[in-house]
Amino acid sequence: MTKEVTTISEEGFSATNEVRDFSVDIDATGEEAPDTLESLLAAYGSCYVPALRVGGQQRGVEELGKIEIDVSGDLNDDDKLESTAFDIRVEADVDDETGQKILDRAFELCKVHDALKDSLHAETSFQGDAF
């Protein structure tokens, strides 16, 4: 299986990405749309959500309920992504030990996580019964 995206830029630093029947704008300057690193962080968090749900089911928590992830990325002096972090809150009442098992499994399942160099794998915090 192959995933395909067509990226089109008529001028400047903004591009429109055609993904199947969807259009996603990304602007390297961040003026007209999310910038490239914000888009990467959004993809990382969005990939981690289903990984958390499946990881929870596989670790005995059938339903996590609402999930909220604050994704942050620190930049180095060259404005390149140096580190990432997730502050994760879930609705389900999950103890710390089970939460850690879910986090570990979710990282094994997350495809964006696999695509990042090791230094960019997210540091995490987890809070159950958060809502």
Rounded Cα distance, 108 and 87, in Å: 18
Residue labelled with tokens 């007209």: 32
Q: How far is CA 21 from CA 32, 33, 55, 112, in A?
A: 21, 19, 30, 21
**pLDDT tens digits in sequence order for the chain, 131 residues long:** 999 999 999 999 999 999 999 999 999 999 999 999 999 999 999 999 999 999 999 999 999 999 999 999 999 999 999 999 999 999 999 999 999 999 999 999 999 999 998 888 888 999 999 98
**Could you report the per-residue pLDDT of 75-110, keeping only the tens digit for each?**
999 999 999 999 999 999 999 999 999 999 999 999
| pTM for this predicted structure | 0.90
Domains of the chain: 1-34 (no CATH), 36-127 (3.30.300.20)
